[in-house]
Structure 1
Amino acid sequence: MKIVDARVIVTCPGRNFVTLKLVTDDGLTGVGDATLNGRELAVASYLRDHVVPALIGRDASRIEDTWNYLYKGAYWRRGPVTMTAIAAVDTALWDIKGKAAGMPVYQLLGGRSREGVTVYGHANAETVEGVLAEVARYVDLGYKAVRVQAGVPGLATTYGVSGDKMFYEPADAAVPTEAVWSTERYLAHTPGVFAQVRDEFGPNLRLLHDVHHRLTPIEAGRLGKSLEPYALTWMEDPTPAELQDSLRLIRQHTTTPIAIGEIFSGIWDCQQLITEQLIDYIRATVVHAGGITHLRRIFDLAALYQVRSGSHGATDLSPVCMSAALHLDVAIPNFGLQEYMRHTAETDAVFPHGYHFADGYLHPSEEPGLGVDIDEDLAAAFPYRPAALPVNRLEDGTLHSW
């Protein structure tokens, strides 16, 4: 089962995606997501110029060996571009493996550990009244968990608050736009938002909030403590995690659970956070953390320390990645939650898939492999469009984490 063709497909059905499609000599195909939001062409070039030539003629069944070949063989290890490229190859090979076996990928990972994958949606609005209406909409759709983001009085824009409530995409211009941030305004306003949401929807709805790396550890501890009465499922990315030891300070000041990891590219980025139990949920994802093979290693390590999965699932991950994530989610013993932002109709058409949402759960495809593909002819009708993520400054002009 040799790889005879490898195609890197860049398309923009509303936003940019990069997809790797592998073809074997016996006619099997596999797809892998290679999208790195705002840096898509860097990964496309890495694949086309460095990875694809090395794949032709390789045995598609040797997933583990190929992973190590691409990781150790490059010499320059880790980093988001390298690991996203490796993830695309790895995911495509798992897709092929499932098709060769005649089984959905989750069966190759040990079979089901649950009947469905609990997902959360994004309720956001400028005002508290608008937030309550958005939470109600997700509850009506059947969601059992909702992320809540609200506008901050005095700030023109706030992360997570979008015009299109279902298809939020922050990469909004060819050159990064700039936003203004105030930690003081945010800390004063946010607890009151959750007080009203919890009062309106009671104790059983799971509530989440994304801080988006914007606080110092002690500020994050203060926020977490102020949110304790509202029993959040998690407070996401409360502080930049490059200094993993900083999470210990947050732990000393709050029992609000912590979720971190959507920008991690490997197990080494979260080793201390997991082994010292400084987080409760690990948010690493298939496309940015080296594919199914490597993400499974992260989740296995996390299981030893009672840390659960909470994988990133925004619209910058294509349906290929979402499908791969669901196969892993349904199989691992320490699953927690899966983020689920719905794709546009144009995206769903370019990436036909068999996973589906019902009663608050996502269900992976039962087709052999991942149960997702890319319509290459339709993809070609949506050419690449430069789109960068914003940057953030404090009110005095100091550059701050976006």
Structure 2
Amino acid sequence: MTLRVVLASDSFKSSLTAARAAAAMAEGFRRVRPDVVTELLPQADGGEGTLDTVLAARPDATVRTTTVPLPDGPHTARWLMLADDTAVVELAECCGLPLLGTADPAGADSAPLGTVLREALRADARRIVVGLGGSASTDGGAGCLRELGLRTTDPHGDDVPPGGAGLLAVTGADAANLSPPPPDGVLLLCDVDAPLFGPRGAATVFAPQKGADPALVRILDGALRRWADVVGAAPDVPGAGAAGGIGYGLSSYWGATMTSGARYLTELSGLPDRVPGAALVVTGEGRHDEQSYTGKVTGHVVQLAQQHGVPAAVIAGTVTTDRPGVTMLSLTDLAGSQHEAMNHPEHHLRHAAEQLAAELPAF
């Protein structure tokens, strides 16, 4: 009987793509158990790597590019057009955290995403799928919508400044010149189910990762509350807080539908059909914590394996949570330091995979 191991890793942010991570894992398994069949199915959940996952699954996809302005200069953002005139846009390619950094969490906005969406409309996309993970902004999607024609104003009728903090001054939103959505609608791939504001909201939970200190987190949360008062749509819909509230903005003004990016992309890649009968399912990411089980792909892969009674393992840069019956391996622990793990991730991924391979049953 041939053992089969499914390698369904997410990317390791700013260190390794999902494809390279899965390849390093496969090499580790082959070194110890050359008799084992490894199936590489790199994953994403709407964040970094979404376009690569779609490209691997859809041979009809063609790569388009759009130049967007960023604080450090022009950036060429990729997006995809499928044969059925569906455009696939990845926020992380346009204005993600690795591109913008954490220097200005108050002023970071989502305008570059709007620039790419506008370009997809000009290319006659009939439907747009947007991966929303990995944002640097907490602006409720106001910047993105501004690029699509929405005008946000303060009590004096002046334009509201860019960024999440600018929304503290917003009192009006004029959609008269807003571009309409494509005829077949917009689907948002969310990697979290957070509401727009509050204890589980976009600012409180995620803005600290984007450089916001506690005082700024409170300001951004208040700004999102004011934005919701102006927009008038329900702020507590699961996913409204995705990507700093872009989920809220696009669902409110474009009627976009939100769905689990992890579920959508695992199904697109064929993962649910490959889990049953596997000896082991391995996933991975840069940081594995409780948030991994609130819409992230690693949590979804673990749950998928458990549903089919298949053993699961997680290899991550750092691990701060656990799950009964799931093997968790930290590259930081294996490497001896986070610095070493980040500098040589593939080496330590291979080492981790070797450990997992050594524990497989012999046939």
Q: TM-score, normalised by structure 2?
A: 0.27
Q: TM-score, normalised by structure 1?
A: 0.25
